[in-house]
């Protein structure tokens, strides 16, 4: 990947860093602002106006952070695996950059999911941590993120690091169905999923809607942060390439 030339965008914008920068320039900031606005509305709604749970009381409000973080951690790893496939099979020029910048965001989401899960579980379980199937598989996902972050940066040759990290990302995909279906496959302390694609939510709609808004807000904000990180990385590489060109004989 080189920025020795910076052509005007044309054709498929995903095909080159220059086109990516051109197309995403007007997208990142509006996406971030909209995401923060939606997130603020969802958090105010969920933390201030949604009802408490009849059994869990006010601690159920942790859900408005915990559930979106669980969703972002899983979705982020799907993105890592997709980037790995694009990098290994099609040598896509942007896949490695996206994987490089998505890893820390996904790891942060997984860490926040674990932390909020512990805070939520302590009143009901009487302990901060149990080796429950859902919790353990999410912890494995967090370690997979850390492994990807370290691997992609471990080589002097960025291409080798991207390929090694891509293999790790693809191998780690097996953990995602375990996270999703662990509460159905095993007898766990973690409550069953309240929201599924095949049925109506089992929670009250007065809780479901603010949760949906919070999830949308976190997703938009995370997407904007990823775009900003990718743009910054590409611009840094472009600056380095131009500097090398200027000093070359």
Residue 75 has pLDDT above 70, yes or no: yes
Pairwise pLDDT comparison (199 vs 22), residue with the higher score = 22
> Which of 55-59, 67-71, 116-120 bottoms out in mean pLDDT, i.e. has the lowest?
55-59
CB within 8 Å of 145: residues ≥ 6 apart: 73, 76, 77, 103, 106, 107, 110
Domain-embedded: residue 173: yes
Predicted pLDDT at 199: 67
Query: Tokens standing for 119?
Result: 């805070």
Domain-embedded: residue 73: yes
Domain that holds residue 176: 31-192+207-247
Give residue-wise pLDDT tens across range 176-217. Answer: 999 988 877 766 766 766 666 666 677 889 999 999 999 999
Domain-embedded: residue 7: no
pLDDT band at 239 (very low <50, low <70, confident <90, very high): confident
Ramachandran quadrant class, 139 (left: phi over 0; alpha: psi -120 to 50; beta: rest) = alpha
Residue 88 has pLDDT above 90, yes or no: yes
Pairwise pLDDT comparison (90 vs 224), residue with the higher score = 224
Domain-embedded: residue 21: no
> Which of 5-9, 14-18, 65-69, 112-116 bottoms out in mean pLDDT, i.e. has the lowest?
5-9
Give residue-wise pLDDT tens across range 219-237. Answer: 999 999 999 999 999 998 8
Split into its structural domains, the chain has a count of: 1
pLDDT band at 18 (very low <50, low <70, confident <90, very high): confident
CB within 8 Å of 228: residues ≥ 6 apart: 28, 32
How far lies 93's CA from each of 1, 88, 243, in Å?
6, 11, 21
Domain-embedded: residue 1: no
| CATH value at residue 163 | 1.20.120
Give residue-wise pLDDT tens across range 111-161. Answer: 999 999 999 988 888 888 888 888 999 999 999 999 999 999 999 888 899
Domain-embedded: residue 199: no
Predicted pLDDT at 6: 35
Domain-embedded: residue 230: yes
Predicted pLDDT at 14: 46
pTM, rounded to two decimals:
0.88
Percent of the chain with pLDDT over 70: 86
Per the listing, tokens 């904000």 go with: 221
Domain-embedded: residue 10: no
């Amino acid at each position: 990947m080189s920025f020795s030339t910076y052509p005007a965008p044309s054709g498929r914008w995903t095909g080159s860093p220059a086109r990516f920068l051109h197309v995403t320039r007007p997208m990142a900031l509006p996406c971030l602002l909209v995401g923060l606005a939606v997130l603020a509305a969802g958090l105010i709604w969920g933390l201030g106006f949604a009802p408490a749970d009849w059994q869990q009381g006010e601690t159920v409000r942790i859900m408005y952070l915990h559930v979106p973080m669980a969703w972002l951690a899983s979705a982020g790893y799907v993105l890592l695996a997709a980037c790995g496939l694009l990098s290994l099979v099609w040598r896509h020029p942007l896949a490695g950059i996206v994987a490089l910048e998505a890893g820390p965001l996904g790891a942060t989401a997984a860490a926040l999911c674990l932390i909020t899960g512990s805070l939520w579980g302590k009143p009901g379980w009487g302990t901060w941590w149990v080796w429950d199937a859902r919790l353990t598989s999410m912890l494995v996902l967090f370690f997979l993120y850390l492994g990807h972050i370290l691997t992609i940066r471990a080589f002097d040759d960025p291409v080798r690091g991207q390929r090694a990290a891509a293999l790790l990302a693809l191998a780690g995909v097996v953990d995602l169905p375990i996270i999703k279906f662990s509460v159905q496959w095993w007898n766990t302390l973690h409550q069953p999923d309240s929201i599924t694609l095949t049925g109506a939510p089992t929670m009250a709609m007065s809780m479901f809607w603010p949760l949906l808004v919070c999830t949308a807000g976190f997703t938009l904000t995370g997407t904007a942060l990823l775009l900003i990180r990718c743009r910054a990385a590409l611009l840094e590489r472009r600056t380095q390439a131009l500097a090398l060109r200027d000093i070359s004989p």
